[in-house]
Every structure is written in structure tokens, then in C-alpha cells.
Amino acid sequence: MLLFIFRVLFWVILIAFMIASVSSTGIATAAGSNRANFNGVVLVGFGLGVFVFLLDVLTPRRKLGALAGVFFGLLVGLLISVVLAPIADMINKSYAINLSDDSINSIKWLIGICICYLTITVVMRTKDDVRFVIPYIEFAKQTKGARPLVMDTSAIVDGRIADLCESRVFDAPIIVPRFVLNELQLIADSADKLKRNRGRRGVDVLKKMQSSSNIDVEIDETAVAEIEQVRGVDQKLLLFTKACNGRLATTDYNLTKVAQVRTVDVLNINDLANSLKVVALPGEGMHVKIVKPGEEADQGIGYLDDGTMIVVEGARNKIGRQVQISVTSSLQTSAGKMIFGRFESFVSPERNNAHNGGRASDDRRPRAAARS
């Protein structure tokens, strides 16, 4: 909207200045004997105006930069106008056009208006990279306030990000790019029932986040040519996150690794969830129910209420029983968390119910305390 108003203002100023110029005494008087003055002002004004306007409109639009870029573009435009102003005098003398001084001055002003407009629109549509202007110097972008969270489709479908933002763990604006929303719609319209349910769940989560007063959600509709030309939503996400200086929120393990390689700040929801789990120290005792055999001989597998898998040595033949184990080690990755333990003894139903009300994962006391 701001860019549209600026374009209209440009044409109003340009036409008003041309009318005022051709109506001046010097040009109007000279136009009676020599129409070169009148034609020069009108043709140069409209010609330059149409040229720079079409160049601006046909150039792919980018997100509006900081307001300081407008002043920077105006300054550059004025400097370029000063450099190009003598060209009008040189052309007038070289080709013997015999334009009056008023016509030459009007043409110089028209050149300045067009150049300033063009430089401002270029700055407004480009990034904050000025290394091409000042070689060997790169200005670091200073971000005030919290950096925005750029949402991946997997993080939206997962749904936990909505609860995290609702609880004020992340006090940052949420940005959902247009191509992510399009991918979410494609998943919701999929012929596969499982994918369709996941897509609809993602749409519901996004709607819930938008209706919350504690979450600032923005659907970014900006079309950047550099991003739109890239194939694949993951690659677009990486470029978009860099462009807005944000953090990428995802649950995709591979995307997390690629983002780290490309120096994009990424927040993996699974990593955050794993970091909030209770740490199992070696030698600590806990109760767990063995539900299936493990891959190795004599191993049994159990799970905590939060989904953490426990691999128990010596529990392959104890499937369906509550056992007490001694933790030997733990392994935590982006894909999940695993606890390795050794079978100690069976847990009687009375003792198990007395300790945790029938939930195996809540009785996680150290062995020394349990035996005392």
C-alpha cells in the first residue's frame, strides 16, 4: 500500500512540475517561435517517467525495508542527479537543439525526480547488503526485540509450538510464509487419509494460534523472486529465515541438520522437548513395564509416559511385568531419547500402586533412597 501511494505521488509531482515548467514565461514565450523547448520538457518528462515506472513495476517486488532506506535512496539519487545534470547541457550544445535555459533547468529537475524515485524503489526492494557500495565493509543487521519464529509445516502439524507460545515460553512473533501455508493446504486436500488428517490438524492449530491473544501470528504474503525461484519448501524456508533474520522452528531432523550447515538459526521442537525431560543418571533406579523384546538377545523394551524408550538388559522374558531397573546410561538425540538399564527385581502390584498409582514412569527414585 505504501509503495502504491508513493507511485501515485510520483506521477502527481512529475505531471505538476511539467505543467508548471511549460507554463513558465521563458518556455511559453520561446514555444511560440521554437517548439523545441516545449517538446523537450514534455518528451523528456514523460519518457523518463514511463521508463522508470515500468522498470519499477516489472521488477519483482520485495518486502519493504526500513524507512532509513528511503532516505539513503534519496541521497544516492540526488548525488547521481548532480552527476548527470551536465549531460543535458552537453547534449543541447553538441546537437544544436537550442533549448532555452529554463528548458534545460526543467529537464535537469525531471532527471533528478526520476533518478531519486528509481533509487528509492531499488533500496526499498533490496536487502540490507551494501557491500557492493562500500567494498570490504559489511554492516551487521541489528535486530531490536525478539527475533521472529519462522514456522515449518512439520512444526505446525505437530501442535506443541502452540502450547509453548501460549505459555509465554516464546515471546516472539510467529511468521508463516505463504508457501508453507500452501503446502499445508495441499496436505489437507490429500487423497491419503492420514496426510489429510495431519493437514487438517495443522490448519486447526494455526487457526487456534491466530485466535489467541498471547500469540502474534503473521501470514507473510511477500513474494521474493530469489525465494520463489528455488524449488522445494525446505530450501525456501532457509532463504526466507535468513532474509527476515529469524529462527526456523521445525521438527524435521534432516532440515535441522541442513539449517545448521547453512548457518541458519534453527529451533527443533523435539530437541526442546528432550531437554525438558528428567535426566536419568547412572545408578538411579526406576520402575518400568516391559512391553516387548529388544533387538539384542536378552533385552526388553519399556516406555515412560512421555514416550522415552527404555532398553533393559536381562528382561526379554519379563514382558508384561513391572520391574525395577538400575540405569546404566542414556542417549539423547533430535530423534528422541533412550535410557539403558539393567534388571534388578520385580515390582509387586501392591508396591507399584502404593508408589505411583499404577503409573510406572512416576516412581523414579534413586536406588539408595528406594532401599532405605
Question: What's the pLDDT score for residue 63?
Answer: 45
Any alpha helices (H) in the chain, and if so which ranges? 2-22, 25-33, 36-58, 68-94, 101-125, 153-158, 160-166, 178-188, 193-211, 225-228, 233-243, 253-261, 269-275, 349-356, 367-371
Question: What's the pLDDT score for residue 76?
Answer: 82
Q: How many domains is the chain built from?
A: 3
| Same-domain status, 71 and 185 | no
Closest CA to 45 of 12, 19, 18, 22: 18
| Same-domain status, 154 and 271 | yes
Q: What is the pLDDT of the chain when averaged over all its residues?
A: 77
Determine phi and psi for 207, rounding to 5 degrees: -65, -40
7 lies in a domain? yes
Question: What's the pLDDT score for residue 131?
Answer: 43
Question: What's the pLDDT score for residue 108?
Answer: 82
167 lies in a domain? yes
Residues of the chain with pLDDT under 50: 31, 33, 61-66, 128-141, 354-372
Q: What is the CATH number of the domain that holds 161?
A: 3.40.50.1010
Domain end position, chosen among 275, 298, 327: 275
Question: What's the pLDDT score for residue 25?
Answer: 60
Domain end position, chosen among 92, 125, 158: 125
| Same-domain status, 310 and 204 | no
Domain end position, chosen among 275, 301, 329: 275
Question: What's the pLDDT score for residue 352?
Answer: 54
- Per the structure, the complete domain to which residue 298 belongs is given by 285-371
| Same-domain status, 121 and 18 | yes
| Same-domain status, 210 and 308 | no
Separation between Cα atoms, residue 356 and residue 246, nearest integer Å: 43
70 lies in a domain? yes
204 lies in a domain? yes
Q: What is the CATH number of the domain that holds 337?
A: 2.40.50
DSSP state, 309? E
| Same-domain status, 237 and 289 | no
Given a contact cutoff of 8 angstroms between Cβ atoms, the answer to whether 73 and 123 are in contact is yes
Phi-psi region of 65 (alpha: psi -120 to 50; beta: other; left: phi over 0): beta
Question: What's the pLDDT score for residue 56?
Answer: 73
Question: What's the pLDDT score for residue 300?
Answer: 92
Given a contact cutoff of 8 angstroms between Cβ atoms, the answer to whether 169 and 200 are in contact is no
Kind of pairing between the strands at 217-220 and 174-177: parallel
pLDDT in tens, 99-149: 777 778 888 888 888 888 888 777 766 654 444 444 433 444 455 557 888
The verdict on pTM exceeding 0.85 is: no
